[in-house]
Chains A and B, each alone.
Chain A
Amino acid sequence: MTAVKDNSRLPLMPVIWTLAAFLIAAGPHLMAMPGLLIAIIFTLAIWRIAAAHFEWRPVPGWLRILITMVLLIAVVFAYGGMWGRRFATGLLCVMLAAKTMEMHGPRDLRMVASVCFFLIATQFLFDESLPYLAYLAAGCWVATVALIQIQHIPAMSRERQEEHGLEQRGMLIQGAALLGLALPVALALFVLFPRLAQPLWGLPDEMMDGRTGLSESMSPGTISELFLDDSPAFRAEFDDQPPPPQQRYWRGPVLWRFDGSTWRTVQFSRSASRQSVPITESSLRYRMQLEPHERRWLLGLDYPASSNMPDSSITSDHQLISRHPITTLSQYEVISTPDFVPDEPLTSTERMLASYLPPDSNPRTRAWAEELRAQYPDDRELIDAVLQVFNEEFSYSLSTAPLGRHGADEFLFDLKDGYCEYYASAFAVLMRAAGIPTRIVTGYHGGFWSQAGGYLLVRQSDAHAWNEVWLEDSGWVRVDPTAAVSPLRITEGSRSVVDRGRSLFELDWIYQMRNQYDRIQHLWNQWVLGFDAERQRWMLSQLGLPQLGPLGISLLMLFVVAMVAIPLAIWLLRNHHRRPADEAERAWRRLLRHLRRNRLNKQPSETPLEFAERIETQLGTRGTEFLELSRLYNRVHYGPLDQQLTSDFITRARSWRTG
């Protein structure tokens, strides 16, 4: 009876390793998973460990089918549908967790461990950053060790537990070695796998999970989370110096429509788009590296004149827009003309939109606007006066306060404290009340200049909102009311004003290190994530292999992979039955290598003693010594274990030379 039980039961270690591989592979997915599914997955994992430990009977087949159906329904329910990447990966996680229920033999374990590799790779659909690569490598390692453990199951049932314990370290090393061997093949595949200029299929347009960013609407008090988000929004590479801080306005969505609380963008009809930005001597050319944000706008310095991003266009309000949502890291070049002022006469629609205020709102603001109008008939003087008031009476902080129906009134007369959104919004209301057409531009301002990297890093915390007012004699003029309140915000960047609201650990050197780290991330983006058809062609042409089509590249890839894999395979097969060389054996092999350099070759079929006797006379005076040495090796290698003799041999072998 006991024998049957032993055979049917899996050893604990491979089960634990396989489950560990699964949990590590599923880990990043779990972060974004509905709580119900997380609970299901952990319940199944804990059940499996308990089953292995207490030797529970396997779950019957009909129950497994029932559980699978229930789980499928739960996943559909949790995601509210059967579409999207999140649903697919969630389903994979849950079903793999369910599969652990029927891990009865090495074959099942092997299957789970193998699928873990795939599960690890699926996380790249959501996150391509450098830290995740390290995590992924660790996950692959654990899965590989699990596979090795599974391979040793037949041996484990035979061996005693303590001998088995000794092997664990060897398996860890072996797992790392196997991954190391796979590295050249992976590298060859990465560099040479044919790339398409356009993806074959588009990813569904989904919200980025837990990632903030600009949106198509703005209501004061919503983007404050952005200020605490230090993740990069984009990087811009300049050939020489970056523009001065005053010019670093990165244009995003332009907001026209106001309903009393929320500002929104407007889609102008195509025919409305006309005035193109001229390219002048002061124009700047730079390369953008935009992090995916799942929206359609591409950011550019005011005012973008042209871009080489495929399927992109520039709207009449000078937004750079892509036809598809940005789901992967995008690299493109932009030319911007900073000193350009759009001055084409407004259309009636534009004038209407830029002047509209909801009726019966913000009475105090309207009253103040009329007062100002009476005092300053000239638009510029009026604006200056308002900015003067802002500068003297208002303050900048990140504190948020919900605003009611008369938001501008509350802000301008009661609150007098806030950040860019509040100012831009209140300023726009005030200007419109005074009869000056005004729009709000959202985007980013500033950026950290990395001298070594030659690029400007703009983080999410650099998000900003400002205004553009229409002056009849000049056109759309940029007015940044926040700058009037807190000039530091504009010259030093958001960090200088935000610092107080942050943790004490935000020390300068940490900030420096983060910027250093960003340089590495930048290179990673540029050479790994951004390694597209273009760069591949460039790299091949550097190697003297120009003009290869996808077929040519495929063949080259197969060839290179074969060149890497075949010698590895031969070497591995040859070493398959060999025991790992112990230290004495390595010392002996060093001796043999030394003798080989002196043209004394040991035949594989010769025993150490036969070899020593054969070459004794050829070695001359050292011959007898070598004979003694090989007698010692004969004793150490083939005799019972003797530490003293072994170390004795190793010392003597190291010092022995043909002389």
Chain B
Amino acid sequence: MSELLSRDWQDDPSIAALARARAAVNEVILDKPEVVDLAFSALLAGGHILIEDLPGVGKTTLANALSLAIGGQLQRIQFTNDMLPADIVGISVFQRDNEDFEFRPGPIFANVVLADEINRATPRTQSALLEAMAEGQITVDGQTHMLPRPFFVIATQNPLDLVGTYPLPDSQLDRFLLRTQIGYPSEQEERRLLIEPDRRDLLSDMRPELDPEQVQTLVMAAAELHVAEPVLDYIQSLIKATRMHAGLRAGLSPRAGLALIQTARAYAFINGQSFCSPDSVKAVFPSLATHRLQPVPESGLAGEEVVAEILDTTTVP
């Protein structure tokens, strides 16, 4: 992959597998390599990703492609407003044979969970999912069940479709490591979309390139990436800037700082670097910070604008 990767990982088959998975997803989702990289960063940093955009830009396609490429057990949950928590986590059923309750695991028991249109479900159902995401386990009828490893949730939501939805509260948004948009494709890629066969047909040809064990290996490798003093300085000054900014209600939490360093590591790792550079921090910072920050209404600024401003005014040491 790259001559810069440290010797221990260079020849590991999981590295090649990761590269293939990345290439496969990029083949389906045209012209959005940065979104694909962010998604893989969330995976390798042990977090979850929320894709938020208008209908039709390819949210579900991206989520499908990702889940297919990563491999392992896949589950797709289409959220609706009549869903109950049990529909996600599972249910205890009375067994007549041995006269006892038996737990039937819900669709959340999988390595990759695609949670489509998450804001259509009621807050009660949402929180069942979010709690599972946060803790990596669920509790039903007083019994705790561990979720499989790796456990990766790709959620989508449509921010503009407000009728009959329950937008995720801000306080719960930070269960997602990253939140990203996809955006419209460029002119050339739009043309390719129009003339070439439906991208969704490509999905049926996709094979998993990675297996859960390989993902675990990669997560560990990414967490070991070298972060130099100047990069730590940079991360700290970014966090400090969010706390000092007059247009924000509150700054990033220490947990967000930890998340930032892990995600930047993962981002550098999938780009074949043996160390974390400020470029990686810059690349992941907007997706990581925007949904965790709330601008004060009086400032008239959107979260994206504030984050861009912070990046533009913080010195890279």
Residues of chain A whose beta carbon lies under 8 Å from any beta carbon of chain B: 577-579, 603-610, 634-635, 637-640
Given A637-B228, A637-B230, A639-B228: A605 touches B314 (CB 8 Å cut-off): yes
- How many Å from the CB of B274 to the closest CB on chain A? 7
Interface size class of B (residues with CB under 8 A): 20 to 34
The answer to whether A634 touches B229 (Cβ under 8 A) is no
The answer to whether A607 touches B282 (Cβ under 8 A) is yes
The answer to whether B277 touches A607 (Cβ under 8 A) is yes
Given A635-B4, A638-B231: A605 touches B315 (CB 8 Å cut-off): yes
- How many Å from the CB of B283 to the closest CB on chain A? 10
Encoded as 1 (CB less than 8 Å from any A CB) or 0, chain B from 1 to 42 comes to: 000100000000000000000000000000000000000000
- How many Å from the CB of A462 to the closest CB on chain B? 66
Q: Please name all residues of chain A whose beta carbon is closer than 8 Å to the beta carbon of B275 when the two chains form the complex.
A: 635, 638-640
In whole angstroms, how far apart are the Cα atoms of A579 and B278 in the complex? 16
The answer to whether A638 touches B312 (Cβ under 8 A) is no
- Other A-B contacts than A607-B316, A610-B282, 9 sampled, CB-CB below 8 A, are A579-B230, A604-B315, A604-B316, A607-B282, A638-B275, A638-B276, A638-B278, A639-B274, A640-B275
Q: Please name all residues of chain A whose beta carbon is closer than 8 Å to the beta carbon of B282 when the two chains form the complex.
A: 607, 610
- How many Å from the CB of B129 to the closest CB on chain A? 37
Given A609-B279, A638-B278: A579 touches B229 (CB 8 Å cut-off): yes
3 shortest interchain CB distances as A-B pairs: A639-B275, A604-B315, A607-B278
- How many Å from the CB of A75 to the closest CB on chain B? 52
- How many Å from the CB of B72 to the closest CB on chain A? 32
The answer to whether B316 touches A606 (Cβ under 8 A) is yes
Which residue in A577, A603, A607 is a CB contact (below 8 Å) of B279?
Answer: A607
Is B297 among interface residues, defined by CB-CB distance under 8 A? Answer: no
Q: 25 A-B contacts, Cβ less than 8 Å apart? A: A578-B317, A579-B229, A579-B230, A579-B233, A579-B317, A604-B314, A604-B316, A605-B312, A605-B313, A605-B314, A605-B316, A607-B277, A607-B282, A607-B316, A608-B316, A609-B279, A610-B279, A638-B228, A638-B230, A638-B231, A638-B277, A639-B226, A639-B274, A639-B277, A640-B228
Q: Please name all residues of chain B whose beta carbon is closer than 8 Å to the beta carbon of A603 when the two chains form the complex.
A: 312
Q: Which residue of chain B is the closest to A639 with respect to CB atoms?
A: B275
Is B206 among interface residues, defined by CB-CB distance under 8 A? Answer: no
Q: Which residue of chain A is the closest to B281 with respect to CB atoms?
A: A607
In whole angstroms, how far apart are the Cα atoms of A608 and B314 in the complex? 14
The answer to whether A634 touches B226 (Cβ under 8 A) is no
Task: Pick from A607, A608, A638 the residue with the most CB of B within 10 Å.
Answer: A638
- How many Å from the CB of B5 to the closest CB on chain A? 11
In whole angstroms, how far apart are the Cα atoms of A144 and B24 in the complex? 64
- How many Å from the CB of B285 to the closest CB on chain A? 12
Is B203 among interface residues, defined by CB-CB distance under 8 A? Answer: no
Interface of A is mostly: loop
- How many Å from the CB of B315 to the closest CB on chain A? 4
- How many Å from the CB of B314 to the closest CB on chain A? 6
- How many Å from the CB of B188 to the closest CB on chain A? 22
Encoded as 1 (CB less than 8 Å from any A CB) or 0, chain B from 296 to 317 comes to: 0000000000000001111111
CB interface residues, B 80-114, toward A, < 8 Å: none
Q: Please name all residues of chain B whose beta carbon is closer than 8 Å to the beta carbon of A578 when the two chains form the complex.
A: 317
In whole angstroms, how far apart are the Cα atoms of A609 and B276 in the complex? 13
In whole angstroms, how far apart are the Cα atoms of A578 and B317 in the complex? 8
Q: Please name all residues of chain A whose beta carbon is closer than 8 Å to the beta carbon of B317 when the two chains form the complex.
A: 578-579
Q: Please name all residues of chain A whose beta carbon is closer than 8 Å to the beta carbon of B4 when the two chains form the complex.
A: 635
Q: Please name all residues of chain B whose beta carbon is closer than 8 Å to the beta carbon of A640 when the two chains form the complex.
A: 226, 228, 274-275
In whole angstroms, how far apart are the Cα atoms of A439 and B313 in the complex? 89
Encoded as 1 (CB less than 8 Å from any A CB) or 0, chain B from 122 to 148 comes to: 000000000000000000000000000
Q: Please name all residues of chain B whose beta carbon is closer than 8 Å to the beta carbon of A610 when the two chains form the complex.
A: 279, 282
- How many Å from the CB of B244 to the closest CB on chain A? 14
In whole angstroms, how far apart are the Cα atoms of A577 and B277 in the complex? 20
- How many Å from the CB of A278 to the closest CB on chain B? 80
In whole angstroms, how far apart are the Cα atoms of A639 and B279 in the complex? 13
Q: Please name all residues of chain A whose beta carbon is closer than 8 Å to the beta carbon of B230 when the two chains form the complex.
A: 579, 637-638
Q: Which residue of chain B is the closest to A640 with respect to CB atoms?
A: B226
- How many Å from the CB of A574 to the closest CB on chain B? 11
Q: Which residue of chain B is the closest to A606 with respect to CB atoms?
A: B316
Task: Pick from B231, B279, B282, B316 the residue with the most CB of A within 10 Å.
Answer: B316
In whole angstroms, how far apart are the Cα atoms of A635 and B312 in the complex? 23
The answer to whether A605 touches B311 (Cβ under 8 A) is yes
In whole angstroms, how far apart are the Cα atoms of A634 and B274 in the complex? 12
Q: Which residue of chain B is the closest to A602 with respect to CB atoms?
A: B316
In whole angstroms, how far apart are the Cα atoms of A604 and B234 in the complex? 12
Q: Please name all residues of chain A whose beta carbon is closer than 8 Å to the beta carbon of B313 when the two chains form the complex.
A: 605
Q: Please name all residues of chain B whose beta carbon is closer than 8 Å to the beta carbon of A637 when the two chains form the complex.
A: 228, 230
- How many Å from the CB of B201 to the closest CB on chain A? 37
In whole angstroms, how far apart are the Cα atoms of A604 and B277 in the complex? 15
- How many Å from the CB of B282 to the closest CB on chain A? 7
Q: Please name all residues of chain A whose beta carbon is closer than 8 Å to the beta carbon of B314 when the two chains form the complex.
A: 604-605
In whole angstroms, how far apart are the Cα atoms of A638 and B4 in the complex? 13
Q: Please name all residues of chain B whose beta carbon is closer than 8 Å to the beta carbon of A607 when the two chains form the complex.
A: 277-279, 282, 316
- How many Å from the CB of A191 to the closest CB on chain B? 39
- How many Å from the CB of B233 to the closest CB on chain A? 7
Q: Please name all residues of chain B whose beta carbon is closer than 8 Å to the beta carbon of A609 when the two chains form the complex.
A: 277, 279
In whole angstroms, how far apart are the Cα atoms of A606 and B234 in the complex? 12
Q: Please name all residues of chain A whose beta carbon is closer than 8 Å to the beta carbon of B226 when the two chains form the complex.
A: 639-640
- How many Å from the CB of A587 to the closest CB on chain B? 15
In whole angstroms, how far apart are the Cα atoms of A162 and B275 in the complex? 27
Q: Please name all residues of chain B whose beta carbon is closer than 8 Å to the beta carbon of A608 when the two chains form the complex.
A: 316
In whole angstroms, how far apart are the Cα atoms of A130 and B314 in the complex? 50
Q: Please name all residues of chain B whose beta carbon is closer than 8 Å to the beta carbon of A605 when the two chains form the complex.
A: 311-316
- How many Å from the CB of B161 to the closest CB on chain A? 36
Q: Which residue of chain A is the closest to B278 with respect to CB atoms?
A: A607
Q: Which residue of chain A is the closest to B4 with respect to CB atoms?
A: A635
Q: Please name all residues of chain B whose beta carbon is closer than 8 Å to the beta carbon of A577 when the two chains form the complex.
A: 233
Q: Which residue of chain B is the closest to A636 with respect to CB atoms?
A: B228
Q: Please name all residues of chain B whose beta carbon is closer than 8 Å to the beta carbon of A604 when the two chains form the complex.
A: 314-316
Encoded as 1 (CB less than 8 Å from any A CB) or 0, chain B from 224 to 245 comes to: 0010111101000000000000
- How many Å from the CB of B9 to the closest CB on chain A? 14
Q: Which residue of chain A is the closest to B275 with respect to CB atoms?
A: A639
Q: Please name all residues of chain A whose beta carbon is closer than 8 Å to the beta carbon of B233 when the two chains form the complex.
A: 577, 579
Q: Please name all residues of chain A whose beta carbon is closer than 8 Å to the beta carbon of B229 when the two chains form the complex.
A: 579
The answer to whether A634 touches B315 (Cβ under 8 A) is no
In whole angstroms, how far apart are the Cα atoms of A608 and B317 in the complex? 10
- How many Å from the CB of A643 to the closest CB on chain B? 15
- How many Å from the CB of A521 to the closest CB on chain B? 50
In whole angstroms, how far apart are the Cα atoms of A609 and B278 in the complex? 9
In whole angstroms, how far apart are the Cα atoms of A607 and B311 in the complex? 11
Q: Please name all residues of chain A whose beta carbon is closer than 8 Å to the beta carbon of B276 when the two chains form the complex.
A: 638
Encoded as 1 (CB less than 8 Å from any A CB) or 0, chain B from 278 to 293 comes to: 1100100000000000
Q: Which residue of chain A is the closest to B315 with respect to CB atoms?
A: A604
